[in-house]
Amino acid sequence: MLSEISYQRWMAIGLLLCVVMLVIFAAIVPLVSTGLAYHEEKQELAFRLQRYRQIAARKDDVAESIKRIKQQYQAQGYFSNRDTVALASADLQKFIKSAIAQAGGELTSTQVLPSSHQDGLLRISVKVRMSGDIEVLRNVLYEIESSVPVVIIDQIDVRPVRGRRNRKTRRIEPSNRLNVNFQAVSFMRAEPS
């Protein structure tokens, strides 16, 4: 009988321990894990806050750097500084004419195309027709590429000039002449609206 009472006590203690463990796993472990998750989230937010404060502290330095870069950008003269599109177009035509003449080419025609707005700038385009050999074309393109203000080439079309027929052999002799059509594009700052 004594051993049966002892056995029942041990069973009761075992059941009590099981209930206590069940309560611990059901209530306390989730609370602890939630507390740890909140602690990690708090640390992450504190780290972000510190980083944002450092970034905000550099705001004035960044604004000053942007201002300095804009001044350098304007001083480099990448864009036409003329007051009107007509004057900027005339400058572009004059530059193209000079580049072709210096290279030894022949300017056939230039035509000013309507200006358009592009990314806060006015796009000034001139359609150009010229002729010359491959060296002339190379020199013209190099002159345009290295110009300030910046001029870019758009929609280039290069076609060989048909050679002349030899009267004796009745064959067409090759020609090194080219007909070149392209658009020269320059930019100027758009007037603030």
Report pLDDT digits (tens) over 117-141. Answer: 877 778 889 999 999 989 999 999 9
More confident residue, 48 or 169: 48
The tens digit of pLDDT for each residue in 149-162 reads 888 888 899 888 87
Share of the chain above pLDDT 70, in %: 93
Identify the pLDDT of residue 47.
92
Whether pLDDT at 102 is above 70: yes
Q: Is the pLDDT of residue 3 over 80?
A: no
Mean model confidence pLDDT for the chain? 84
**Each residue of 103-121: pLDDT tens digit?**
999 999 999 888 888 777 7
The SS3 of residue 101 is helix
Q: In the predicted model, is pLDDT for residue 193 greater than 50?
A: no
Q: Starting from the edge strand earliest in sequence, which strands make up the sheet with 178-189, in order?
A: 106-118, 121-132, 178-189, 151-160
Tokens encoding 25: 């796993």
pTM score over 0.75: no
Q: How confident is the model at residue 42 (pLDDT cuts 50, 70, 90)?
A: very high
State the Cα torsion 138-139-143-146 to the nearest 10°: 60
Cβ-based neighbours of 105, under 8 Å, separated by 6 or more: 130, 131, 132, 136, 137, 140
- CA 98 to chain centroid: 32
